[in-house]
Structure 1
Amino acid sequence: MNNAATHSMFYIAVLCPPEIDNKIQAHKVWMRERFACTVAMKSPAHITLIPPFWLANEREQILINTLHSLNTSVQSFTIQLKNFSHFSNKVIFAAVEENHVLGSLRKATEDHFITVFHDSIKPDDRPFHPHVTIANRDIKPGDFNKAWAHFEKLDYEQSFPASKISLLKLSPAKWNVIAEQTF
């Protein structure tokens, strides 16, 4: 584990626009009020491109510069959210429709950052499964089925244009955007 006095946590993502973030936030509040799930409330609605990683504080400006130097062939594209799904009994999320452009953006972003930060950012060997988290890690096993019974019945469909990626940093209470890069 890294020392929080000398290191910070970061992640890189495509953020949902405010109108979708507000709707996702309402679902997170529902989970908090019924099942005391609060972990997902620390982040804005997003699709993770590079999961959280620790980095020495003195390298933060290099991280921001690396974000700004990202040059990808990906152009603005539309992301479709449709209904809800889950990973085992640990995560409930708004599902992202299959999108090869999003996969290309994730690969280009990962490759770009690993080149500079190979000591902190490792290639993700898991298949890319983009999603917008509603609840994670703090769903009690006995609550998952009750929560899922609610979400599996909901019709949910939203779309939004994606044209930038965001770098987020964890403060004690929440994740904050500290830099963005348009593609």
Structure 2
Amino acid sequence: MEHQPPIQNSPQPDDTPRWFIALLPPLPLQEQITAIKQEICDRYQSRAALRSPPHITLQPPFRWPLNRYESLLEHLSAIAQEHAPIPIQLSGFGAFPPRVIFIHVAKTPALMASQPAVMQALAERLGISDEKSKRRAFTPHLTVGFRDLTPKAFRQAWPEFRQRSFQAEFVASHLTLLRHDGQRWQIDGNVPFAGVLSPSHGQNTSNSEEN
């Protein structure tokens, strides 16, 4: 697809659907990470992380009207074809005190180059931009507890999770577009990276969790 002048994405009404773009692990690994989210929910009454599938955010939430959905998907597909599949390495847990616990994602050159490139392409071609993300360094992570994890619960949970082992690897073979349905984030569609014949769930080469 030829590059066209950027579409002006003017402020949208509050009822315009919200979307975000991410990398998702393969299903077996998603299930394993979701089990950790459920553990945090059960033990520390934090449900917020369960409202989306496990993911690494590349483009934070933005509003986009349904009547321009095909344009969004067309441009996103073209952007994905400019990138090769991305190897992802997960190792241990980290935190953004006082409310967020996450699984560490290695800052590999491929991942660290892809995120700003995707954001820049979305801004140039569709006018999608997030000013806060522009001002802070990209810290790839997979959130397992946040928002409704109270500071008190965080102080109880973090000493345990900082010692917990978690190791996994997979290849992200596509970009995933997610849409908020009013209650939670749902997978809307996948667009493959270059060389991938059709959207897939990547390759899970190893994963384990130990206390």
Matched, 1:153 2:156: no
Q: Residues 68-126 of structure 1, C-alpha deviation per residue, up to 9 Å, x if partnerless? A: 121555322321100000012121000011211011111221111111332x4235221
Paired residues for 1:55-66 under 5 Å = 55-66=64-75
Paired residues for 1:115-154 under 5 Å = 115-118=124-127, 120-123=128-131, 124=133, 125-154=135-164
Distance 1:76 1:55 in 2: 26
Q: Report the residue type matching 2:92 in the other structure.
A: N
Q: Is this contact kept in 1: 2:104–2:142, CA < 8 A?
A: yes
Once the two structures are TM-superposed, the CA of residue 56 in structure 1 deviates from its matched residue by 2.5
**Corresponding residue number in structure 2 for 1:100:** 109
Once the two structures are TM-superposed, the CA of residue 173 in structure 1 deviates from its matched residue by 2.6
Distance 2:98 2:189 in 1: 33
Q: Structure 1: state its 5+ residue gaps.
A: none
Q: Residues 23-63 of structure 1, C-alpha deviation per residue, up to 9 Å, x if partnerless? A: 11011101111121111101111100001112233222221
Q: Report the residue type matching 1:161 in the other structure.
A: V
Q: Report the residue type matching 1:170 in the other structure.
A: H
**Corresponding residue number in structure 2 for 1:163:** 173
Normalised to the residue count of structure 2, the TM-score between the two structures is: 0.80
Distance 2:86 2:80 in 1: 16
Q: Is this contact kept in 1: 2:90–2:105, CA < 8 A?
A: yes
Distance 2:136 2:89 in 1: 22
Q: 1:71 to 1:134 in 2, by over 3 A?
A: closer
Distance 1:56 1:45 in 2: 25
The higher radius of gyration belongs to 2
SS in 1 for 2:59: strand
Normalised to the residue count of structure 1, the TM-score between the two structures is: 0.91
SS in 1 for 2:144: strand
Q: Is this contact kept in 1: 2:60–2:130, CA < 8 A?
A: no
* RMSD after superposition: 1.7
Matched, 1:22 2:54: no
Q: Report the residue type matching 1:31 in the other structure.
A: I
Distance 2:180 2:96 in 1: 24
Distance 1:9 1:77 in 2: 25
**Corresponding residue number in structure 2 for 1:74:** 83
SS in 2 for 1:10: strand
Q: Identity percentage over the alignment? A: 28
* 1:52 aligned to which of 45, 61, 64: 61
**Corresponding residue number in structure 1 for 2:18:** 9
